[in-house]
A and B are shown apart, each in its own frame.
Chain A
Amino acid sequence: MKLKEFIVADAIIPNLKAADRDAALQELVASLAAAGALPKSAVEEVVNSLIKREQNGSTGFGKGVAVPHVKHPGIKQMSGTIGRSASGIDFAALDHQPVFTVVLLLSPENQPQQHLQAMNIVFSNLQKDMFRRFLRQAATKEAIVDLIDEADQGK
């Protein structure tokens, strides 16, 4: 699986306005809805379940990244987006450090294999110091899309 198979380029936010976790989730889900990845009527419910998911255990797994994710019946096709925060967001991360890169993933129900594959490719890339650093520095949507393309080509 490749990142660009589910990362919706139009929904990428290179400079998140949000200063806290819940606002960042709202901004990213609204962006996915605006790009047509989920019905606008589902935004509120998806945001609420993402917040609930974070409260049960932060997806800020350390190294300045968080990967909030949730399944929802309104999602027909697995979709994700990336948000970047220059100032950092408190995600109650495992290492207690601020999060600069949020990779948000929305999965359809009953597709656990697809979900695991997507998480695999996201984390395989986030494990790489260079990928994380470039992502944190990528200030435009185009720069982030380029990074995704390079990562997908294994560069």
Chain B
Amino acid sequence: MSEIVFDGVTRRFPLAKGGDFLAIDCIDLRIEEREFVAIVGPSGCGKTTLMRMAAGLDFPTDGRVLVGGKEVRGPGPERAVVFQQFALMPWKNVRENIGFGLMCRGTPRAEREEAVAHYVQLMSLAGHEDSFPHQLSGGMQQRVAIARAYVMNPAALLMDEPFGALDAQTRIVMQEELVRLARRNPRTVLFITHSVEEAIYLADRVVVMGKRPGRILETLDITATRQAENWEAEPIEEVMDSPAFTHLRSRIWRLLKAREQEAPAA
């Protein structure tokens, strides 16, 4: 059971000079089991905060966050997180980084090594098992981060702008790979991004958020279009070029732009 539910979630931050900053205003959102949902929005709209609350790294001021029917009380491996800055431990090599969660759990060595080897293969990291993070490119480091999330067999995957720190070319490659992985290994995914194209390409549903305060502007269902246009069979550059794709993209851009004009940056 892994559906993610945000029930009337509000988050306020106390300001240094007194008073509160309303980051998120009463959000209701339900992510079904095995659904891939992307949240898209400008910086500061609260999308990362939502993800952190699902991860148990932050808590709502009002309302509840539930995963698999249980209220979130803290971080744990059943809700694996992939961070934008990779967050790999510089003093552990690739193998040790991927196997860290299993080691904490007490998984016996043989089992652990097998699981790590499996994901090393899957994420095309073969040959780099003994390398340290600083010896790897950004893309490879993120692959390690994704591998270490998957190896825990989590019920839910929470990804915070995972490709934000990568250069444009690497980013596209990773997007294709993630799609492949997600279709092969489906689970509930909450994916945060500020790239509209990325959201449309990867997700079953795209939630568009505006800021000041953080609220859901609209939710778009992508599955219908994706299946109708058979995106899974095409390379990413073809998909992003297709009229159906650009149509969705423009729609979301218009939403964001309209919102920006209503409440321009201070």
Instruction: Answer yes or no: are A and B bound together in one complex.
Output: no
Q: Which B residues form the contact surface with A (CB < 8 A)?
A: none
Residues of A within 8 A of B (CB): none
